[in-house]
Amino acid sequence: MRSIRALVLVLAAAAVLAGCPSKSNPDPAAKNAGPAVLASAAPTPVSAEPAPNPARGKHLVFDYQCNRCHDGTGHPAAADNKHCVHCHSKIMDDKFEAPAASIARWKPRVKELAAAPSLEATGKRFSRKWVTSYLLLPTDLRPHLHQFMPRLAMSLADARDIAAYLVPEDDPAPAGASPELAGADLGKGRQLLETKGCGSCHVFTGVAAVPSSAPPAMDGKRFDLGRRLAPDLRFARDRMSAAKMIAWLEDPQAIKGDTPMPKPGLSKAEVKDLAAYILGAEISPPPAKAKLARLPVLARKVTFKEVDEKVFHRTCWHCHSEPDYAIGDGGPGNSGGLGFKPRGLNLSDYNGVAAGYLDDKGERASVFIKDEGDVPRLVKALLARHDEESGAETGPVRGMPLGYEPLSAEDIQLVESWVAQGRPR
């Protein structure tokens, strides 16, 4: 992730202090409610959880700007200066209007940022419960994709309504073994996973490694896209019912026309065996993420130029840019977006960093203010990203960079050392 003129288009982002605007959207009928019912009327039972509202969910998909990364949202795609994928895709396809020398320079930088899964046919593939949980606590679902779904400032009510919109018909709660998989042979399913080329795109963490056998016949570009978007199969049992898995393996493109996954060419019995293995193979717990070991501040001098080249302009500038330089949009961390308020945090130059961000009152505040643990807010955001990776709550400071792997201990050490030294130019 490096600075790219006119391409400050984020795949996930927010300001260091990420506050989410209200998404309450109360039921319009409530505004016209009549007087209170008579005391003699029988009380109406109150459900612990109100029914999800898919109509509100559709509006929330727009409010959270899901169309900045994903196609298939039910809304028009965001304009190129706000879209996190289309702009980069056009560069890779030589369709972006810019000098040839610039295109050649940009291509290596945006190659891994030019793809995101579409939301087409979400309801035909996934369960509503899983969509809800994923929106609230995203996981690194696609190991070969450089970026992943960010942790947004989303409430449970918002997540449930969005899931109801994306998955109109919820899967029934499973009751015992899935009848669709009766008589399946998991051993044969494992063999199919190895011999049909599944391992050339998919990983299946928690089971014995799947050999990378030759993939089905595909052109190189389609295979590259398919591999990057291929999910880790360990999550399939949470995402898909047996019926949906079977339908998917029979003909993926009949379910989702834009999927790069080819039709496996399996018999009905083979589909059942493969589905049974993916959904029922014994899997071990995922490896625990090592806790970040913070490094002491450096004794040598650290300048803004070094921090800018290694951190700010390599990563942060995608979300915290200068609007006048980035086709009018400074990214969600500056101009706002993805459900986050405009925070005015411009990390594209020294003066922008020094100017800080806009707090909840709209007043300027420094990103170098220290918390009770004597940690500058900017550094705290970088550390919070590591906490998020372990599933921990991080409080009011959003982990940075959103949607990407946490910065290394060495990069955080560099930023912390620069701040400790008085932020020399």
The CATH code of the domain that includes 194 is: 1.10.760.10
Percent of the chain with pLDDT over 70: 86
Q: Over 70: is that where the pLDDT of 377 sits?
A: yes
Q: Total structural domains in the chain?
A: 2
Averaged pLDDT for residues 261-271: 94
Model confidence at 20, pLDDT cuts 50, 70, 90, reads: very low
The pLDDT value recorded for residue 263 is 92
242 and 335 assigned to the same domain = no
The pLDDT value recorded for residue 273 is 98
Residue 171, domain member (yes or no): no
308 and 274 assigned to the same domain = no
Model confidence at 219, pLDDT cuts 50, 70, 90, reads: confident
Task: Summarize pLDDT for 112-126 with one digit per residue, the tens.
Answer: 677 899 999 999 999
Cα 96 to Cα 93, 198, 225: the distances in Å are 8, 34, 19
Cα 144 to Cα 121, 326, 415: the distances in Å are 22, 28, 28
Average pLDDT of the chain, as a whole number: 85
Q: Over 60: is that where the pLDDT of 407 sits?
A: yes
The amino acid occupying position 183 is G
189 and 269 assigned to the same domain = yes
Residue 47, domain member (yes or no): no
Domain, as residue range, for 193: 181-280
Residue 167, domain member (yes or no): no
Averaged pLDDT for residues 38-49: 47
Contacts 24+ apart (CB under 8 A), 216-222: 216/262, 216/264, 216/265, 217/262, 218/260, 218/262, 222/260
Residue 320, domain member (yes or no): yes
313 and 275 assigned to the same domain = no
Q: Assess whether the previous peptide bond of 401 is cis (omega < 30° from 0).
A: yes
Q: Over 70: is that where the pLDDT of 186 sits?
A: yes
Exposed, middle or buried by CB within 10 Å (0-12, 13-18, 19+), for 54? middle
Model confidence at 325, pLDDT cuts 50, 70, 90, reads: low
The pLDDT value recorded for residue 27 is 37
User: How many angstroms separate the CA atoms of 364 and 254, rounded?
Assistant: 52
Residue 55, domain member (yes or no): no
Cα 313 to Cα 4, 23, 90, 316: the distances in Å are 9, 32, 22, 6
Model confidence at 147, pLDDT cuts 50, 70, 90, reads: confident
402 and 310 assigned to the same domain = yes
339 and 415 assigned to the same domain = yes
SS3 assignment, position 306: helix
212 and 313 assigned to the same domain = no
User: How many angstroms separate the CA atoms of 94 and 100, rounded?
Assistant: 9
CA dihedral (156, 160, 165, 166) positive or negative: positive
Averaged pLDDT for residues 382-411: 87
Q: Over 70: is that where the pLDDT of 19 sits?
A: no
The pLDDT value recorded for residue 95 is 85
pTM for the predicted model, two decimal places: 0.83
Residue 123, domain member (yes or no): no
234 and 334 assigned to the same domain = no
Angle at Cα 360 formed by Cα 359 and Cα 364, nearest 5°?
25
Residue 351, domain member (yes or no): yes
Percent of the chain with pLDDT over 90: 57
202 and 246 assigned to the same domain = yes
Averaged pLDDT for residues 120-135: 96
308 and 416 assigned to the same domain = yes
Task: Single out the residue in 240, 265, 280 at which a domain terminates.
Answer: 280
Most confident stretch, 147-156, 242-251, 398-407: 242-251
Task: Single out the residue in 228, 247, 280 at which a domain terminates.
Answer: 280
318 and 415 assigned to the same domain = yes
Model confidence at 326, pLDDT cuts 50, 70, 90, reads: low
328 and 271 assigned to the same domain = no
The pLDDT value recorded for residue 328 is 65
Residue 130, domain member (yes or no): no
